[in-house]
Amino acid sequence: MVLFVTFPFLFYVVFGSDGLVIGFFLDMLLLIFGVRIVRQNTVKLVEFLGKFNRILRPGFNVIIPFLEWTRDQDLYKTNFHVFVDGLTGDNVSVGIGLNVVYFVKNDDESIFQSIYEIDNPEILIRATIDEQLRAMISTFTHKEIYTKRHEMGDSIEEALRIKLDQFGYTLDSIQVQDIQLDALVLKALNRIIETEKMKEAALNEAEAKRITMVKEAEADKESKKLLGEGMAEQRMAISKGFKESIDEIKASDPSLTGKNILKFLLDSARIETLEKVGKNNSKVIYLNENLEATSGASRVEKFLADK
């Protein structure tokens, strides 16, 4: 600011009123070439005749034109993507993609180091990750790679943090974003997984069928058991009813013989059957009626004799 006042005064003393014009013209040049507006989250390093002089912070700043020059440095966080190829312990090609987030520490010493002690931090980051990650990949099999994501990220983060700190940078985080196996190996792995799923599905289906068959067999067994019990009870009821009918007939007429009683019962059953058949407009064909009656009479006579 002293120069803005000094130039017009000196030229006025030397050249009079015309000197004021020259002085103000030089002030305009100072204003155009000497003013530096520094944005938020950035700084400017001032070099006086090529030597570091000071750091300009965000806001309005002035430098000496043609004697001082500035270099910019960003303080915001930077994302840097790295992709590393390597071989696993079982000689399978694998590619791993990482995202590195880093930034310059906001103090004068760190800002100075980030400009004058390292040319390109991304080269350092890539080289460190390459070295660490290739060494780790070789200790895993291709099947283990997917489960070692956090372990790889933590190991690389520790080594990279130390490296960057030496040059004024701070590591914010590392994310292992992508793991890519060789296409043929990936296809084989997918086939294995598919086969395992099919095997599991087949086992589940077989188990379901087995359970269904067991349940059906148990239901059939229970059904037959109940049917048998019902038939047995039915036979007992028929026998009981048959006995009661014979006893009632004999009680009404003691002179009746077993043969007469049998004939009466058979005739009654025959009439009842014909009545039911006739209701359905059906036809009845008698086959060897004498044989049937004789056989039935013999069974009933034996039953009465036992009584």
Q: Are residues 18 and 46 in the same domain?
A: yes
Stated pTM of the model: 0.55
Q: 144: domain range? A: 78-181
Q: Are residues 126 and 49 in the same domain?
A: no
The burial of 68, by beta-carbon neighbours within 10 Å (0-12 exposed, 13-18 middle, 19 or more buried), is given as: middle
Q: Are residues 97 and 26 in the same domain?
A: no
SS3 24: helix
Residue 224 lies in a domain: no
Q: Are residues 99 and 165 in the same domain?
A: yes
Residue 279 lies in a domain: yes
Residue 53 lies in a domain: yes
The CATH number given to whatever domain includes residue 105 is 3.30.479.30
Give me the residues paired with residue 72 across strands.
44
Task: Report the number of distinct structural domains present in the chain.
Answer: 3
For residue 154, what pLDDT is reported?
A: 86
Q: Are residues 83 and 175 in the same domain?
A: yes
Q: Are residues 61 and 110 in the same domain?
A: no
Residue 65 lies in a domain: yes
Final residue belonging to a domain, choices 133, 159, 181: 181
The DSSP secondary structure of 206-267, one letter per residue, reads HHHHHHHHHHHHHHHHHHHHHHHHHHHHHHHHHHHHHHHHHHHHHHH-TT--HHHHHHHHHH
The burial of 104, by beta-carbon neighbours within 10 Å (0-12 exposed, 13-18 middle, 19 or more buried), is given as: buried
Phi/psi at 285 (nearest 5 deg)?
A: -115, 120
SS3 80: strand
Starting from the edge strand earliest in sequence, which strands make up the sheet with 68-74, in order? 51-56, 42-48, 68-74
Q: Are residues 10 and 24 in the same domain?
A: yes
Q: Are residues 67 and 101 in the same domain?
A: no
CB 181 within 8 A of CB 167: no
Residue 217 lies in a domain: no
Per-residue pLDDT of the chain (307 residues; tens, 9 = 90+): 555 556 555 655 555 666 666 666 666 777 778 888 999 999 999 999 989 999 999 998 888 888 889 999 999 999 999 998 888 888 888 888 999 999 999 999 999 999 999 989 999 999 999 988 888 888 888 778 888 888 888 888 888 999 999 999 999 999 888 888 776 666 666 677 777 777 888 888 888 888 888 888 888 778 777 777 777 777 777 667 767 777 777 677 666 666 676 677 677 777 767 666 666 666 656 555 554 444 454 554 444 445 4
For residue 288, what pLDDT is reported?
A: 56
Q: How many residues does the chain have?
A: 307
Q: Are residues 172 and 84 in the same domain?
A: yes
Final residue belonging to a domain, choices 163, 181, 199: 181
Residue 29 lies in a domain: yes
Minimal CA–CA distance to 131: which of 106, 156, 151, 164?
156
Q: Are residues 154 and 94 in the same domain?
A: yes
Q: Are residues 114 and 158 in the same domain?
A: yes
Final residue belonging to a domain, choices 148, 181, 214: 181
Residue 282 lies in a domain: yes
Q: Are residues 89 and 173 in the same domain?
A: yes
Let me know the angle formed at the C-alpha of 37 by 32 and 41, rounded to the nearest 5 degrees: 160
For residue 43, what pLDDT is reported?
A: 95
